[in-house]
Chains A and B, each alone.
Chain A
Amino acid sequence: MKILLVEDNERVSQFVIKGLQEAGHTTDHAANGRDGMFLAASEPYDVVIMDRMLPGDIDGLAIVEVLRKTGKRTPILILSALSEVDDRIRGLRSGGDDYLTKPFAFGELLARLDALHRRAAGVNHDTPLAVGNLHMDPMTRKVTRGERQIALQPREFKLLEYLMRHADQVVTRTMLLENVWDYHFDPQTNVVDVHISKLRQKIDAEFERPLLRTVRNAGYMVTAAE
């Protein structure tokens, strides 16, 4: 991916750039709103990471609004030290596609960037999904692994659907909470892990190759890769 990072804090910038580089992405960096706006408007990026509070007279949300008004559809992830729910809503309303509060775990940022990139590539909600020999038809709500049909509860179906739509990508616990349960807070428990292990029981038990994997310090991933 080609990513633009608009962030004034040098340490955070270096940390993000280095991490993205290791993950195989190229990153341009702008340390103020003016450069950020110029780069975002003129260069083609897959995703933009925009800090909300920037030095100078242009603030992150203002840039997002201007980009959207001029017709730029590049996915934007807003970074902010403001964690209140209202701030999150304001960030998304201004045209941002996702919102992440500082301080954040790098895994969380990377997972969300991947999700944004894939979403921008276009999603047909009705096309059948497949990972290895695991198949899901969102229309008929039928799930099969190999020859065997798997019965899922509605929420388990939603959970698996989200994981399969982001196959081969890391999905964090927070992303699952937000997208599967619509919970925008930290329940401070490992309940998500319990849900995952239940789902794993249903789709992976008795199969030689597990598809639903735990990624240490980050989250989960559905993949057919070795």
Chain B
Amino acid sequence: MTSVIRSTAVSLGLGYFILGSAALVLFAAPLWYAWQGTIREGRAEILLADAQRLTDIYRRDGPEALKTFIDTRVSMQIAGERILLLTDANLRPVAGNLPAWPRNVPAAPGDYVIQVDLGERGGIQAAHLHVVPLGQYNLLVGRDNRLFAPLEKRFWYGLAGAVAVLLIAGLLIGLITRRTLMSRVESIRQTVSAIIHGDLKHRLPTHLSDDELNTLSRTINGMLEQIEVLVHGVRNVSNCIAHDLRTPLAELRSRLEELALIRPPPAETFAEIDGAVADVDRVIRIFDALLRLAEIDAGVRRSGFVPIDVSDLAATAVEFYAPAAELKNIALNFHSDGALPVSGDPVLLAQALSNLIDNALKFAPDDGIIDVAVRRREDGVVEIAVTDNGPGIHDAEKAKVVERFYRGDASRGTPGVGLGLSLVQAVAKLHGSALELSDQNPGLRVVLALS
């Protein structure tokens, strides 16, 4: 991971440096070429004119006159850039300011750009030379390039300086990238690996800014939040399964073991077997309820949505429970404004309604009142409300009662495994709505709103 960070930072810096250098070269190379070309052409013209003039003197006045002319020229000029040399056929100097014919220049007519030894006048210098043969003599005219050397030097230094600046900037970019961006990436990585190792509490660091990394971090944090909720749910459920299935299984086991050990008379044995079957049925019921919950949570049931009339569904449920209410002398009332068509799962909604009425019947006192009311609110939401005048639920308990296997103090001694309201809530969630619990003083009002 470290090497990746390093290489990302380095390649970023290096890339910047290479790109900058390439731009610099693209800019400097034509400039250099144009500059050199212009100098060379200018020089060639001047030298040609000089050579022509000296040739004219030779032709008109003879070699002695030329010799005198050259001597005059050389004496007039103290440290000029001009190079003049007249030699005999054996290349021995006759006049001029060069100590000897340069060894690397042939005695043939032409232009040469070459290193020449200027002797005491300046040592070895780059020079532009023009050679003209004049009968028994050879004439060499030229200019040394001493004048341009500092300029050239400055050009190269400037270029090197610019490259150096680019190199440093590239390095800085690499370092800054590594220190800011990469350190944030690294902190994300550390958080994520902590999560991988099982600590879901961690969250990515976020700032107030809206840059991409921050937005990403916030999104990931949202995802982690959801994962934590789900994992917590799963953990909770598996704990509950362990607890609530273990109990009936333990009872069943001891019942059967006792039968095997004691071998009681047949009548008693059969009674025990009936008890064992009842224990198994209890386990199966818990299983079924959990499977149903898992199925709803997975959201696969949404495909089973059909148009249904909530009013009709509620009427059936009320009518189903009416005899049970009668037994406890509870008034089970039903209010409806007429047909309330919604799209939903008829089986699950019927089960949710049945759970709500069943709960109300459990907690309403004898001679109590239960109201089941369905209506369409002004905002178009269809509302199923079940109200009882039982003991109600403490505010502190309201959030807990929908948890799986949670059984409030009031439900001790009543049948059930603590999954009823969990199912109602899951059904509500599946239908895109929430379960609302409120106090009725005394009693509880449960509202299932279907949008």
Residues of A within 8 A of B (CB): 83-86, 89, 103, 105, 155, 181-191, 194-195, 197-198, 217
Main SS at interface, chain A: loop
B351 at interface, CB cutoff 8 A: yes
Q: Is the CB of B327 within 8 A of A184?
A: no
Question: Which residues does chain B contribute within 8 Å of A198, judged by CB atoms?
Answer: 323
- Chain A to chain B: the 7 pairs with minimum beta-carbon distance, closest first: A194-B323, A185-B351, A191-B324, A187-B354, A194-B324, A198-B323, A184-B347
B304 at interface, CB cutoff 8 A: yes
Q: Is the CB of A187 within 8 A of B358?
A: yes
B288 at interface, CB cutoff 8 A: yes
Question: Which residues does chain B contribute within 8 Å of A185, judged by CB atoms?
Answer: 292, 347, 350-351, 354
Question: Which residues does chain B contribute within 8 Å of A85, judged by CB atoms?
Answer: 301, 304, 347
Known: A85-B347, A155-B319, A181-B320. A194 touches B354 (CB 8 A): no
B113 at interface, CB cutoff 8 A: no
Question: Which residues does chain A contribute within 8 Å of B291, judged by CB atoms?
Answer: 83-84
Cross-chain pair count, CB within 8 angstroms: 56
* 13 A–B pairs (Cβ distance < 8 Å), ordered by A: A84-B291, A85-B304, A86-B304, A103-B284, A155-B319, A183-B351, A185-B347, A186-B285, A186-B288, A187-B358, A188-B416, A191-B321, A194-B323
Q: Is the CB of B300 within 8 A of A86?
A: yes
Q: How large is the interface on B (under 10, 10 to 19, 20 to 34, 35 or more residues)?
A: 20 to 34
Q: Is the CB of A84 within 8 A of B354?
A: no
- Counting chain B CB atoms within 10 Å of each CB, which of A183, A190, A217 scores highest? A183
Q: Which residue of A lies closest to B316 (CB)?
A: A181
Partner of A194, one of B274, B327, B350, B351: B327
- CB contact list, B271-294 vs A, under 8 A: 274, 277, 280, 284-285, 288, 291-292
Question: Which residues does chain B contribute within 8 Å of A86, judged by CB atoms?
Answer: 300-301, 303-304
Partner of B415, one of A105, A188, A191: A188
B297 at interface, CB cutoff 8 A: no
Report the minimal beta-carbon distance from A205 to chain B, rounded to whole angstroms: 15
Report the minimal beta-carbon distance from B319 to chain A, rounded to whole angstroms: 6
State the CA gap A188–B359 with chains docked (Å): 11
Q: Mark B294-331, 1 if CB is under 8 A from A, else 0.
A: 01000011011000000000001001110110010000
Question: Which residues does chain B contribute within 8 Å of A188, judged by CB atoms?
Answer: 285, 358, 415-416
Known: A183-B350, A188-B415, A189-B324. A83 touches B304 (CB 8 A): no
Q: Which residue of B lies closest to A82 (CB)?
A: B291
Partner of A83, one of B288, B316, B324: B288
Q: Is the CB of B280 within 8 A of A103?
A: yes
State the CA gap A65–B422 with chains docked (Å): 38
State the CA gap A181–B347 with chains docked (Å): 11
State the CA gap A36–B323 with chains docked (Å): 46
Report the minimal beta-carbon distance from A209 to chain B, rounded to whole angstroms: 24
